[in-house]
Amino acid sequence: MRTNLSSIAARQNVLPLHPQRAQATELSPAAAAHQALLHRRYGKDAIYEATLHRYLAGRPKREIDFFINPRRFDLMHSVIGDRLAQRPLRVLNAGSGPFALEFYAALHDATIDSFDIDEQLVALHKSLTIRNVITPCAFRVMDVASYEPHEVYDVVLVNDVFYSKHVDLFAVIATFASAVAPGGVLYFDIQDQRAGPIWRLLGKGNATRRYDLSAVRAALEALGFKVEAVAPALGIKGGGVDAVARRFLWRWLGIANNFAFAATR
């Protein structure tokens, strides 16, 4: 999930490092009845979408709609779904964006700590939590350069953070690795440098950072991790020209724009 990293070098924490863990708030009978009516009439997907557009108003509609897709976590579930099904489960969601993981990933009863640099997400998080739209999580505003682990997690997810030119994977990967509990998994996605020329020809990809897959694997192994999967992301739009192009490039040229890494300690 994308996060606003444009001023990453200058931003600092604005919330405590150990915020009180958010819990789904008990609604009054009238409010609970109204919530149930909304769920029956519109469904949770529509409520999530409307809430994002309300609290992130002023941003391009396309940017907001990027997060509203139940297929966003298909690849993650195919790679580490067995881990996400375990209980008890402690999850770090770095670069959370507007809480699509907490909405779509069915992490009920998991303990989730989320952070993002985007201050607009504070009010959105409060609204989604009070209305019981997302799995409860603790949320704090913080950039990745400021993150220091104070506990360990069974699953550490780093969402789209490494696409940003303001973040160097090799400078921060050891910090995220130290947050992984023994036997836990580190999961993140990156853009492959081999696909750069093709995406630039298509008028895309100039604003993101790309990596050599073998160098990323070597960095993980140097930290004592075993790379369990390097999986191509072939799109989440469900079809059309985008999906056809991605699958053609992967099948015939072995090139994908995005890859997901899963590594275990």
Task: Give the CATH number of the domain where residue 226 resides.
Answer: 3.40.50.150
Dihedral over alpha carbons 169, 11, 114, 65 (to 10 degrees): -90
Question: How many other C-beta atoms lie within 10 A of the C-beta of residue 61?
Answer: 10
In terms of residue numbers, what domain contains 90? Answer: 69-264
Per the domain annotation, does 236 fall within a domain? Answer: yes
d(CA 20, CA 15): 11
How much is the pTM? 0.83
Instruction: Answer whether residue 47 is part of any domain.
Output: no
pLDDT of residue 27: 57
Give how far Cα 63 sits from Cα of 33, 60, 68, Å: 32, 5, 10
Residue 1, domain member (yes or no): no
In a domain, 140, yes or no: yes
The per-residue pLDDT for 144 is 93
Cβ-contact 192, 213 below 8 angstroms: yes
Is the residue at 182 inside a domain? yes
How many CB atoms are closer than 10 A to CB 74? 16
Residuewise pLDDT in 10s, the chain (265 residues): 444 433 333 333 333 334 444 444 565 676 566 556 556 556 788 899 999 999 999 999 999 998 988 888 999 999 999 999 999 999 999 999 999 999 999 898 999 999 999 999 999 999 999 989 999 999 999 999 999 999 999 999 999 999 999 999 999 999 999 999 999 999 999 999 998 888 787 777 678 899 999 999 999 999 999 999 999 988 766 556 667 777 888 888 888 889 999 999 9
H-assigned helices in the chain? 29-55, 61-65, 74-84, 100-104, 121-130, 169-177, 196-201, 213-222, 240-248
Residue 163, in any domain of the structure: yes
Six-digit token string for 165: 């030119």
For residue 46, give Cα distances in angstroms to 39, 51, 56, 237: 9, 8, 15, 18
Q: How many domains does the chain have?
A: 1
